[in-house]
Structure 1
Amino acid sequence: MRNCLTVDVEEWFHVCGISGPFAFEHWDRLPSRVVETTRDVLGLFDACGARATFFVLGWVAARHPTLVRDIARAGHEIASHGHLHRRVYELTPESFGADLAESRAALAAAGVADVRGFRAPEWSINGRAPWALDVLARARFAFDSSMAPMRIVGDPAYPQRPHVRATAHGEVIEFPPLVDRRFGQNMPLGVGWGLRMSDPARVLAAIAERNRRGIPIALVVHPWEIDRDPPRVTLPLAKQFAHYFRLGGFQTRLEQIIRGATFAPMGEVLGLSAVDA
């Protein structure tokens, strides 16, 4: 069974809820690593023969359009990660719609006109933004991957398989990240620190178990997670853990996982064709 390999294309300093030196007005003065690290991701995927969905931040696309074109030329799907890496529930329906439009415009300027997928920064489409999927449907997005079935950023009651969400403006297919039941709760297994800390054999076993039940899964990686020389800054404790925990050796572990399962872009796994956009 084909599963989804996905990448959130953002800079190392695109961290939600952090002000001070990481505030938006300072972004252009911080050292950029996204081109080099995303090219490393592309090289890894090419070596493994894997294709993926790249959720590209509009802010990145506007500054590095050649990188976006390189991702598309390598056979990967381009989707939106929003424009300014803002949590959706901190926006209004109107400002969220504007952020989506700005993101799409940046991707279109980079040569990608067919953008039908979205992922919110920090899994921020949840009960605090019940209107968000309606905004996506109205903007003609076909699929979303923003609703995490776990506490803190989402809701453990959310389905753990791809499913259709009805809105006033049509349907949106929701594709959640891979989670696993541990310590009496759903924990991240296919994303972030949960993926980085897990033995590849454990991740592959979880993928195989879902696939036997006919459920495709989604893995999520960030280019900064395989940075060979990541910038080190002091963050609040929870952010520090999420951002830096077990970065060492992650590329090698990720390669084992990619080679041990079958992956394809999210739109293909969901059976969407170009005319569905």
Structure 2
Amino acid sequence: MALNAFTVDVEDWFHICGVDDRLPASQWDRLESRVVPTTRALLDDLAAAGQRGTFLVVGWVAERHPALIREIRDGGHEIGLHGHRHRRIFEMTPEAFRQDLRDNLAALAAAGAGPVVSFRAPEWSLNHRAPWGPAILAEEGLRIDASRAPVARVGSPGYPRRPYPLATPAGALLEVPPLVGRLAGHAVPLGWGWGLRKAAPADVVSAIAANNRDGDPAVLTVHPWELDPAPPHVRLPAPLAFAHYYKLSGFRERLRQVLAGAEFGPLCELPDARAWLAD
């Protein structure tokens, strides 16, 4: 039984929300895809550490690289959803979100992913700005959501920090939040993004251990492009540029140290999730 969850948002380097003027979806097929080698790097590092995780896959990636999906599956990892075209949920209508989910599920099924129960919204966007979203997840057969970050800007500091039932008219989901830290009295990312890249591995491992002593899991999230040794750069608005490019150098080695310092598994094997899925 996994004490903590390691999750990967399987997207390419150009799957960035809010920059359709610079990286329009109509041009994605013309850009150099780097998701296969960078995802394989993560698979290699997880295997070397004896760890497994949940790979939440953009449907666009599954359609173009079905063999990669089978590699993830055959490595013993859980496969989940990360949106078909990596769009923020609150920028879609409910009908468009439902179709996006169905397209994502179909792409994974065609690639041989197996059963899918877990979802994470791009950019943590299944939040208070899309109150209708969780019910659609439940209606489409999802059981676990990992989209609500308990920090400002992309979520809310008021969201719980351990797994909890999220009620919807179509039945409850198990919500599994990411690991957060504190900086100057504010909740900040620690288990993902710039916060994870910035933190010393020993500090991340210490925070995970503190969560575990309290009986709570820690959930980490990475993207394949964060391990790219020579990532393509595009001019982005300052907040996005910081989120995407800050402290990428050396991140793979720092992440290896974190993987060696704690016990990880898929979302679906967390104790709360096992009990949830057994109901």
The TM-score, its normalising length taken from structure 2, stands at: 0.96
Tell me what 1:89 maps to: 90
Q: Does 1:213 align with 2:210?
A: no
Aligned counterparts of 1:156 and 1:166: Cα–Cα separation in 2? 19
Tell me what 2:8 maps to: 7
Aligned counterparts of 1:163 and 1:276: Cα–Cα separation in 2? 15
Tell me what 1:58 maps to: 59
Q: How far is 1:8 from its partner?
A: 0.2
Structure 1 letter corresponding to 2:18 = G
Aligned counterparts of 2:233 and 2:101: Cα–Cα separation in 1? 31
| Equivalent pair of 1:5/1:219 in contact (CA under 8 Å) | yes
Could you list the structure 1 runs, at least 4 aligned residues long, displaced by more than 4 angstroms after superposition: 273-277
Aligned counterparts of 2:36 and 2:81: Cα–Cα separation in 1? 17
| Equivalent pair of 1:61/1:110 in contact (CA under 8 Å) | yes
Tell me what 2:171 maps to: 170
The SS at the match of 1:20 is coil
The SS at the match of 2:106 is helix
Structure 2 letter corresponding to 1:212 = R
User: Which one is further off, 5-14 or 224-233?
Assistant: 224-233
The SS at the match of 2:52 is coil
Percent identity at matched positions? 52
The SS at the match of 1:272 is helix
Alpha-carbon RMSD across the aligned residues, in angstroms, is 1.5
Distance 1:276 1:30, change over 3 A: farther
Q: How far is 1:61 from its partner?
A: 0.2
Q: Does 1:250 align with 2:251?
A: yes
| Equivalent pair of 2:166/2:172 in contact (CA under 8 Å) | yes
Tell me what 1:239 maps to: 240
Aligned counterparts of 2:64 and 2:239: Cα–Cα separation in 1? 30
1:272 maps to which of 254, 257, 274: 274
Gaps of 5+ in 2: none
Q: How far is 1:272 from its partner?
A: 3.2
Aligned counterparts of 1:104 and 1:62: Cα–Cα separation in 2? 11
Q: How far is 1:116 from its partner?
A: 0.6
Q: Does 1:148 align with 2:153?
A: no
The SS at the match of 1:259 is helix
Aligned counterparts of 1:79 and 1:273: Cα–Cα separation in 2? 19
How is 1:13-162 mapped onto 2 (pairs within 5 angstroms)?
13-162=14-163
Distance 1:59 1:142, change over 3 A: same
Distance 1:274 1:162, change over 3 A: closer
Aligned counterparts of 2:231 and 2:20: Cα–Cα separation in 1? 20
The TM-score, its normalising length taken from structure 1, stands at: 0.97
Gaps of 5+ in 1: none
Aligned counterparts of 2:22 and 2:188: Cα–Cα separation in 1? 31
Structure 2 letter corresponding to 1:50 = Q
Aligned counterparts of 2:72 and 2:113: Cα–Cα separation in 1? 10
